[in-house]
Amino acid sequence: MAKIHEVAEAAGVSISTVSYALSGKRTISAETRRRIEQAVRELDYRPNAGARMLAGRRTNIFALTEPFRADTYAPAHMAFVLATSIAARRYDYDVLLLTEEQASAGMRRVARSGLADAVLVLDVAPDDERVELARHLDIPSVFVGVPNDHDGLVCVDLDFEAAAGLAVDRLADAGHRTIGLLGHPAAAYHRSNFPPRVRAGFERRARERGLADTVELPEFGGARRVAVRAALGVLLDRGVTGIVLHCDEEAHVAALDELAARGLRVPDDVSVVSVGSTFDTSSMQPPLDVLPLVPQASCDLAVDLAMQLLSDAVPPPGVRLVAPVYHDHGSVAPPGRR
Choose between 81 and 131: whose C-beta lies nearer to a copy of itself.
Answer: 81
- Pick the closest to residue 216 from 172, 169, 251 (CA basis): 251
d(CA 235, CA 167): 17
DSSP 284: S
Please answer whether residues 205 and 164 qualify as being in contact, where contact means their C-beta atoms are separated by less than 8 angstroms: yes
**For the stretch 257-273, what's the b/e string if a residue is b when 16 or more beta carbons lie within 10 angstroms of its beta carbon?**
ebbeeeebebbebbbbb
Q: Does 40 bind DNA (CB under 7 A)?
A: no
Choose between 97 and 319: whose C-beta lies nearer to a copy of itself.
Answer: 97
Which parts of 35-64 interact with a copy of itself (CB under 8 A)?
Answer: 44-54, 59, 61, 64
Q: Which contiguous run of DSSP H or E holds residue 228?
A: helix 224-237
Which neighbouring-strand residues pair with 181? 215, 244
* Piece in contact with a copy of itself (CB under 8 A), picked from 70-78, 185-193, 305-313, 321-329: 70-78
* Piece in contact with DNA (CB under 7 A), picked from 22-30, 233-241, 261-269, 280-288: 22-30
Q: Residue 156 touches which of DNA, a copy of itself, none (CB < 5 to 8 A by kind)?
A: none
Q: How many residues bind DNA (CB under 7 A)?
A: 32
Helix (H, G, I), strand (E, B) or coil at 278: coil
CB atoms within 10 A of CB 286: 17
Q: Does 34 bind DNA (CB under 7 A)?
A: no
Q: Residue 212 touches which of DNA, a copy of itself, none (CB < 5 to 8 A by kind)?
A: none
Which parts of 185-224 interact with a copy of itself (CB under 8 A)?
Answer: 222-223
DSSP 314: P
- Cβ-based neighbours of 92, under 8 Å, separated by 6 or more: 60
Choose between 52 and 177: whose C-beta lies nearer to a copy of itself.
Answer: 52
Q: Does 319 bind a copy of itself (CB under 8 A)?
A: no
* Piece in contact with a copy of itself (CB under 8 A), picked from 107-115, 199-207, 238-246, 266-274: 107-115
- Cβ-based neighbours of 164, under 8 Å, separated by 6 or more: 181, 197, 198, 199, 200, 201, 202, 205, 244, 246, 275, 276
Q: How many residues bind a copy of itself (CB under 8 A)?
A: 46
* Piece in contact with DNA (CB under 7 A), picked from 29-37, 172-180, 217-225, 307-315: 29-37
- Report, in this order, helix, strand and coil percent for the chain, each rounded to 5: 45, 15, 40
Please answer whether residues 268 and 336 qualify as being in contact, where contact means their C-beta atoms are separated by less than 8 angstroms: yes
Strands 61-65 and 318-322 turn out to be unpaired
Residue from 173, 285, 314, 330 that binds a copy of itself (CB under 8 A)? 285
Residue from 22, 144, 155, 307 that binds DNA (CB under 7 A)? 22
Choose between 51 and 187: whose C-beta lies nearer to a copy of itself.
Answer: 51
Which parts of 46-65 interact with DNA (CB under 7 A)?
Answer: 47-48, 50-52, 54-57
Give residues in contact with DNA (CB under 7 A): 2-5, 12-17, 19-20, 22-23, 25-29, 31-33, 45, 47-48, 50-52, 54-57
